[in-house]
């Protein structure tokens, strides 16, 4: 641990940016799902800034207050590199939600979801969480009888996409917005026709979020096995991306996004294995593995795409991708 941080200091010592801290987080028994997401969020600049500015006006410590304490603790360290135990935050998390109140491995995406929604609840009304993560999807349904199109807006904090073997995240997003036909018992009630009709449905992005969080649905329930299994498929993701699945009235269809964090799952299933995160900070990439932090080269990203071959079930694979809209 100690030798690890001095190793990192050696590697980036001279180019260590002022006011930046790289602190590993101690694992309190399978809490890497939490550590990996916290690191990704810490290096989401607008999120960090808001959390650091948060002042609890309530005496009672909320989960957000605990998070703010943790972030303040990291950012006020005298040393630039080290390890911190997020004890209070984990204790609060376990107290607040039964799901996380055990020593089992949890789903990092569920935790991210829970955390963002909890923060939004604590803040109430329109919040900076929405400001940072919220986008709007438009659900377009076209009646195959009268051709009328109805549109319904839906907001999202992240997008969950299906994964397929040997694809890219771009292709997964196209799949997310592909057209689905509603027929037989799924028929759609058309207001124009005043009756149930066959229809085509698709979801496209209408308003882009500032931070785009993409969740790859790598855990799939297999009926025969009565459990979730991991899809270790190779899904490549570039360092910069634009979306192809924008609605026609979207404001900036050519918005560029830059990858800044990846939560990676290693191992064979949602309740086993390990989470780590890769984070971009000041032009270089760091790998946070609980209390260990190391510098990696951008081309090492290849190791986290997943493996094409079925024989490598326990591979490391990108699970949540965080992209930041380029100014």
Partner 1 sequence: MASSSNGNNQEEIKCEFLVKEGRYKVSPLSASYSYQKTTYQTNHGNPVKLSMVTSNCEGGLYGRLVYNYGRELFTFAYKESTRQDTDNKILDKKAYKSAIPLCHDFNLITRSPDTLNLIVGFNTGQMQLINVVKYEIMKNFNESRNIDNSKITCIKWIPGKDNLFIASYFSGNIYMYDDNLPCSNGPITYSVVKESDDFSVYTSKSKLQQRNPIYKWTIGKGAVNDMAFSPDCRHLATVSQDGFMRVINYETNTVISTMKSYFGGLLCVAWSSDGKCVATGGEDDLVTVWSFTEGVVIARCDGHRSWVNAVAFDPYTIFVTNRDDASFSGSEDEANVNCHRNGSNEVENSNVLSYRIGSVGQDTQFLLWDIGEDILTSERHRKQPQTVTVNSNTNSNSNTISRASINDLKIDGISDYSNKSDSSSSNNKSDHSHNNSNNSNNNNNNNNTSITTTTNNNESTSINIQYQCPSITEIPLIEPIVARKIAHERVTSLAFTEDCITCASQDGQITIWIRPNIVSTQL
Answer yes or no: 21 catalytic.
no
Residues 178-217: x where in contact with partner 1 by CB under 8 A, - otherwise, as a string: ----------------------------------------
Which residues between 3 and 42 bind partner 1 (CB under 8 A)?
Answer: none
Q: How far is CA 33 from the centre of its chain?
A: 11
Is the distance from CB of 276 to CB of 296 less than 8 angstroms?
Answer: no
Task: For partner 1, give the closer residue by CB, 86 or 209.
Answer: 209
Among 21, 32, 44, 215, the one annotated catalytic = 32
Q: Which has the closest alpha carbon to 115: 126, 100, 131, 105?
A: 100
Task: For partner 1, give the closer residue by CB, 113 or 229.
Answer: 229
Residues 231-270: x where in contact with partner 1 by CB under 8 A, - otherwise, as a string: x--x-x-xxxxx-x-------xxxxx--------------
Task: For partner 1, give the closer residue by CB, 282 or 326.
Answer: 326
Stretch that binds partner 1, among 133-141, 196-204, 226-234, 282-290 (CB under 8 A): 226-234
Judged by CB under 8 A, the residue of 72, 217, 220, 272 near partner 1 is 220
Distances 148 to 16, 138, 180 between C-alpha atoms, Å:
58, 15, 16
Which residues between 291 and 310 bind partner 1 (CB under 8 A)?
Answer: 299, 302, 308, 310
Task: For partner 1, give the closer residue by CB, 86 or 306.
Answer: 306
Phi, psi dihedrals of residue 57, rounded to the nearest 5°: -95, 0
Shortest distance in whole angstroms from residue 168 CB to partner 1:
4
Is the distance from CB of 134 to CB of 211 less than 8 angstroms?
Answer: no
164 is a contact residue toward partner 1 (CB under 8 A) = yes
Task: For partner 1, give the closer residue by CB, 26 or 236.
Answer: 236
10 Å CB burial of residue 8 (0-12, 13-18, 19+) is buried
Shortest distance in whole angstroms from residue 51 CB to partner 1:
27
Among 21, 109, 215, 274, the one annotated catalytic = 274
Answer yes or no: 274 catalytic.
yes
**DSSP run (H or E) holding 36:** helix 32-42
Q: Residue 250 contacts by C-beta under 8 Å, 6 or more apart in sequence?
A: 204, 205, 206, 207, 208
Orientation of helix 45-53 relative to helix 63-75, angle to 10°: 110
Phi, psi dihedrals of residue 2, rounded to the nearest 5°: -65, -40
313 is a contact residue toward partner 1 (CB under 8 A) = yes
166 is a contact residue toward partner 1 (CB under 8 A) = yes
Q: What is the b/e burial string over 84-112, where b = at least 16 CB atoms within 10 angstroms of the residue's CB?
A: eebeebbebbbeebeebeeeebbbbbbbb
Q: Which two tokens stand for residue 178?
A: 């592909």
Instruction: Please give the residue ranges that form the binding site for partner 1 (CB under 8 A).
Output: 164-168, 170-171, 220, 222, 224-225, 229, 231, 234, 236, 238-242, 244, 252-256, 299, 302, 308, 310-313, 326-327
Q: Please list the active-site residues.
A: 32, 274
């Amino acid at each position: 641990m100690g030798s690890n941080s001095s190793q990192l200091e050696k590697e980036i010592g001279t180019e260590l940016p002022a006011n930046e801290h790289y602190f590993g987080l101690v694992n309190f028994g399978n809490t890497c799902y939490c550590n990996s997401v916290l690191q990704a969020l810490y290096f989401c600049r607008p999120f960090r800034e808001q959390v650091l500015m948060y002042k609890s006006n309530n005496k009672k410590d909320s989960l957000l207050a605990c998070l703010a304490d943790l972030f303040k603790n990291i950012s006020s360290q005298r040393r630039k590199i080290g390890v911190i135990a997020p004890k209070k935050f984990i204790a609060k998390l376990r107290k607040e939600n039964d799901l996380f109140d055990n020593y089992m491995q949890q789903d990092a995406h569920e935790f991210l979801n829970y955390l963002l929604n909890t923060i939004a609840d604590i803040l109430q009304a329109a919040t900076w969480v929405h400001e940072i993560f919220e986008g709007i999807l438009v659900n377009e349904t076209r009646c195959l009888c009268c051709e009328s199109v109805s549109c319904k807006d839906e907001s999202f904090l992240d997008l969950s996409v299906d994964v397929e073997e040997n694809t890219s995240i771009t292709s997964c997003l196209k799949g997310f917005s592909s057209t689905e036909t509603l027929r037989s018992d799924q028929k759609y009630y058309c207001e124009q026709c005043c009756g149930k009709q066959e229809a085509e449905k698709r979801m496209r992005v209408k308003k882009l979020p500032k931070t785009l969080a993409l969740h790859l649905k790598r855990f799939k329930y297999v009926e025969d096995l009565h459990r979730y299994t991991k899809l270790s498929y190779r899904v490549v993701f570039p360092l910069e991306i634009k979306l192809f699945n924008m609605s026609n009235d979207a404001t900036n269809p050519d918005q560029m996004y830059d990858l800044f964090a990846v939560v990676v799952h290693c191992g064979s299933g949602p309740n086993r294995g390990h989470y780590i995160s890769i984070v971009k900070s000041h032009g270089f990439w760091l790998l946070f593995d609980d209390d260990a932090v190391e510098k990696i080269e951008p081309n090492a990203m290849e190791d986290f795409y997943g493996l094409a071959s079925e024989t490598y079930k326990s591979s490391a694979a990108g699970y949540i991708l965080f992209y930041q809209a380029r100014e």
